[in-house]
Structure 1
Amino acid sequence: MKPIRIVAPPLAANCYLLADEKKALIDVGGDIEFILRAVSKYIDPKELDYVILTHSHYDHAAAAGHFKGLAKIAIHRDEYSLIKAQGFTSFMFGVSFKPFEPDIMLEGGERIELGEINLEVIHTPGHSPGSICLYEPEKRWLFSGDTVFAHGSFGRVDLPGGSARELIKSLEMLSKLDVENLYPGHEDIVEGNASRHIANSLRIAKMFL
């Protein structure tokens, strides 16, 4: 089974539905009605077990609070501290979130078992302090949020909590993984030899950050 990509408003964030024995949605976008309609094409949203947030930026996470009680919401501890300190508001973009308490506070190193798909949580700060990536070692899939993208691109570091130094360290860590398919938070999916794209992103980041 392959991840189901859902491109969600307001900024065309890639969300991924994993419909295994347990069902997970990686990132949710900012429009709850849209994401529920999209998920409903494949499963009843009430069947969701997990909502896993790669980070807290509004284009990936603003709809997350609406899933409280429907699925277990997982987010990194540092990322939750950031969004809570900001009052669940993206001041730069003037967007407010529905506040929520996470069900699972991640640290990095956890394993989220869905059935055939088992995700390893990797803490990858840089784009934001609590950004995470999710790695499936058997299938060699990487869900990278806004840490790394296809074609040598990588996440911006000029938003609150961003750090060029930390992003480069995170890219160095990801470059050591064997990644076949890359499922980033925006733009193109890479199917086949995705490690090459991560290596290019690291090389370019070291040149410009």
Structure 2
Amino acid sequence: MITNLAQGVQAFTSNVFLIDGDRPVVVDTGANFDVVDAVRSHVDDLDAVVLTHTHRDHVGNLEGVTDAFGVDTWGYDTAIDGVDHAIEDEETVRLGDHEYVALHTPGHKNDHLCFYAEEAGVLFAGDLVFQNGSFGRTDLAEGDRDTLIESVDRVLERIDPTLEAMHTGHGPSVTEDPYEHVELAAQMARQM
């Protein structure tokens, strides 16, 4: 089961996804709200924190979560404070009850990862792409439009057109034709 713990929060934060199951994890910790209580209202324990990337709105609550649950953090770049273990490009990681392949997808930020579970039909897109063809900002440090386009294309080649759900770093999750939203993002990123 995947729950967005930041849904309805009126603060500057990313989405925070709790994936329950065999290996309960949080994907991104958000910022500026009590995510520890939100986690505890659903599960007693966590196995890990997994990061799509390390922008402040995605990791502001990181220390609080790792301290409260005594867990390590997994992300792309262990040179960044708070990231304990590296997830390599194309590495398979277990989140909840499913195996996800990690895809290194820079362009919004150099350490950006997406996670795709073919069997479950689920994509965690972080800030790479959003609903209705929106895509991650490239005007921040480490942002690069051409690199982002390459990353969106890579995800598009990897995911199945029958993708059932795309969970994004901001805004609502996409459960109706998410593949088309990724296709649209690939087109929109080229036009702007």
> Structures share a fold, TM > 0.5?
yes
Match of 2:61 among 63, 67, 73: 63
2: CA distance, partners of 1:114 / 1:123: 17
Identify, as 1 or 2, the structure richer in strand: 1
3-state SS in 2 of match to 1:55? coil
The residue that corresponds to 2:152 in the other structure is 171
| Counterparts in 2 of 1:75 and 1:188: CA distance versus 1, 3 Å | same
Amino-acid identity (%): 29
Query: 2:14, 2:31 within 8 Å by CA — same for their partners in 1?
Result: no
With structure 2 as the length reference, what TM-score do the two structures score? 0.90
The 1:42/1:199 distance shift into structure 2, 3 A limit, reads same
Give the match for residue 22 of structure 2: 21
Match of 2:31 in 1: 30
Ranges of 4+ aligned residues in structure 1 off by more than 3 Å: none
Secondary structure at 1:129 match in 2: coil
TM-score (norm 1): 0.83
Partner SS, residue 155 of structure 1? coil
Partners of 1:9 and 1:29 within 8 A in 2? no
Q: Which residue of 2 aligns with 1:49?
A: 47
Does the alignment pair 1:192 with 2:176? yes
Counterparts in 2 of 1:86-105, with a 5 A limit?
Answer: 99-100=81-82, 102-105=83-86
Answer yes or no: is the 8 Å Cα contact 1:9–1:59 preserved in 2: no
Q: 1:137 aligns with which of 94, 100, 118?
A: 118
Match of 2:135 among 119, 129, 154: 154
Deviation at 1:103, TM superposition (A): 2.6
- 1:73, 1:153 → 2: CA distance? 28
Q: Distance in 1 between matches of 2:164 and 2:190?
A: 23
Which amino acid letter does the alignment assign opposite residue 35 of structure 2? I
Q: CA deviation at 1:175?
A: 1.4
Could you tell me which runs of 5 or more consecutive residues in structure 1 were left unpaired when the two chains were aligned: 85-98
- Measure, in 2, the Cα distance between the counterparts of 1:9 and 1:119: 30
